[in-house]
Amino acid sequence: MKMLMNLVAFALLFNGCTANKVADALIQNSCKEVPKFTGMVSRWPHFENDCIASLKENPQSQKARNIDDLIMVGANNAISNLTNVKRIVEKIIKERKYKSSLSKKSLEDCLKLYSKGSHSLISGLNYIKKGNFDDAEHEYTDAVKAPIFCELKFNGDNQQISPVKKENNLLVTMIQIPELLIMKATWH
């Protein structure tokens, strides 16, 4: 009996390990091939590593068996990332941690951009669920404008320093992950 239990435990463990290896290999290959495939690898030197790290961070990714599963994980990650960045900006405004009234105005503009972006990301996820990758891709192209235009509010004529520069840069990548995975999945 004990031996049988050991055997069962071993089989479960072994199964779990191979499953993780399958998911990890899928994540690595997908993140690696995406930027090359779009010819954008030089623009985002960190893309591959950020893509792998963020997908692995979500436990759902361990259940992924194909690129469609990974797209779902990336789509959900992008939503929670944007929500977090939005909360950070709301907190800065609420606690009056901004450097100037001009900076406050820019942060308020960013909140509007994030709201639009959030709308696009949710709509993108719904398109993915329906298997409509073309429309989903457009939503991601729109959503990525939120962190990009938010940064431009600071670095444009205003010459203010964005308090969420790092967060916005990461958010761009987090939105590009599902976008580029979709491009890879729909490439003929």
Ligand X SMILES: *[C@@H]1O[C@H](CO)[C@@H](O)[C@H](O)[C@H]1NC(C)=O
Binding span for ligand X by CB under 6 A among 20-28, 40-48, 83-91, 133-141 = 83-91
CB of 27 or CB of 170, closer to ligand X: 170
Which are the contacts of 154, defined by CB distance < 8 A and separation ≥ 6? Answer: 103, 106, 160, 161, 162, 165
Closest listed residue to residue 73, CA positions, set 182, 154, 178, 184: 178
Q: Answer positive or negative: Cα dihedral of 119, 123, 124, 126.
A: positive
Beta strands of the chain (E only): which ranges?
Answer: none
Contact of 150 with 165, CB cutoff 8 Å: no
Task: Count Cα neighbours of 151 within 13 Å in the Cβ-side half-sphere.
Answer: 14
- Asked if residue 176 binds ligand X (CB under 6 A), the reply is no
Using Cβ positions, the residue closest to ligand X within the complex turns out to be 84
- Least gap, CB of 149 to ligand X (angstroms): 18
CB of 120 or CB of 168, closer to ligand X: 168
- Asked if residue 82 binds ligand X (CB under 6 A), the reply is no
Interface residue with ligand X among 57, 66, 100, 132 (CB under 6 A) is 57
Closest listed residue to residue 144, CA positions, set 166, 108, 171, 167: 171
- Least gap, CB of 161 to ligand X (angstroms): 18
- Asked if residue 81 binds ligand X (CB under 6 A), the reply is yes
- Asked if residue 54 binds ligand X (CB under 6 A), the reply is yes
Which amino acid is residue 95, in one-letter code?
E
Interface residue with ligand X among 23, 72, 85, 144 (CB under 6 A) is 85
Which residues sit at the interface with ligand X, rule CB under 6 A? 54, 57, 81, 84-85, 88, 167, 170, 174
